[in-house]
Amino acid sequence: MRAVITRVASASVSIEGTVVSEIEHGLLALIGVANGDGTADIDYVAAKIRDLRIFSDAANKMNLSVKDVDGAVLAVSQFTLLADVRRGRRPSFIRAAAPEPANDAYEGVVSRLREAGLVVRTGVFQADMQVASVNDGPVTIVIDSRSET
């Protein structure tokens, strides 16, 4: 499972010009589910989104989590995070999970974040969405549950 999280002043998801979800201060989390992702991947990614200390404290050091700053999370499913572009010019999405297990895993991350007491808003799974954000910092972190680096 791969996630790209961005610290934001605000973020929103629109479909056909209508805002369907939005947050103020917090994290925009784009989440891609790979073939074979399971409970361990869901737990890992949710814990990282919840606990990464990427918000500034009083000394202007990145030392606080989204929960510490009473921030919200806008979670958006994005299978294109699993694109393989090593060959040719057209990305391959063969590593991305099929829609049903991908949605289950995505919803698992959302559920874990809500269980931790976070306010979580979501995109619409498999919809053509327009995602807008005002990046704060900017601070953008890539989380990969299978990375060894």
Find the Cα–Cα–Cα–Cα dihedral 64, 65, 68, 74, rounded to 10°. Answer: 140
Alpha carbon separation from 24 to 81, 101, 121, 124 (Å, rounded): 24, 30, 11, 19
Q: Which residue has the tokens 């704060």?
A: 136
Residue 47: its H or E element: helix 39-51
Name every residue whose Cβ is closer than 8 Å to that of residue 32 and which is 6 or more positions away in sequence. 1, 2, 3, 77, 78, 79, 80, 81, 82, 96
Helix (H, G, I), strand (E, B) or coil at 81: helix
What residues are annotated to the active site? 78-80
Q: Report helix angle 99-115 to 39-51, nearest 10.
A: 40
Cβ(120)–Cβ(71) below 8 Å? no
